[in-house]
Amino acid sequence: MKEPELIVADEPTANLDPSARMEFYEAVMKLNRRGVTFFISSHILSELEKIITHAVFINDGRITFAGRINDTMAGEEEEVYLLVDNPEKAIRVLGQGEMEGGYLKVRGG
């Protein structure tokens, strides 16, 4: 059987124990090195941030962020503008941010 070019996974690590999650992501990275692209839907961003290159954040059916993740995490502090429904809650969850021109501005690096 031919290896797929794209694999779509919706919450693939839900209900997995920590060691099974690690095994899953190791398999993802191995396949990705062989050219397989993954589209993963997940609420556990801390797991994904180590292996993804691009991300799209969707809130209430709308794209609120789309772009390269590794540029933001490469050590250079950058500003990202997000469209959020509840800025106060987003600032509380992110631990930072300020409203600017109708968007939530956050800094990362």
Note the pLDDT of residue 70. 62
Does residue 30 have a pLDDT over 90? yes
Please tell me the pTM assigned to this model. Answer: 0.57
CA separation for the pair 67, 93 (Å, rounded): 21
Does residue 69 have a pLDDT over 70? yes
Q: Given pLDDT bands bounded at 50, 70 and 90, which one contains residue 8?
A: very high
Question: Does residue 23 or residue 94 have the better pLDDT?
Answer: 23
| Residue 105 · residue 98 · CB < 8 Å | yes
Question: Does residue 35 or residue 64 have the better pLDDT?
Answer: 35
Note the pLDDT of residue 15. 92
Note the pLDDT of residue 76. 53
Query: In terms of C-beta density within 10 A (0-12 exposed, 13-18 middle, 19 or more buried), how is residue 84 classed?
Result: buried
What percentage of the chain carries pLDDT values higher than 90? 34
What percentage of the chain carries pLDDT values higher than 70? 89
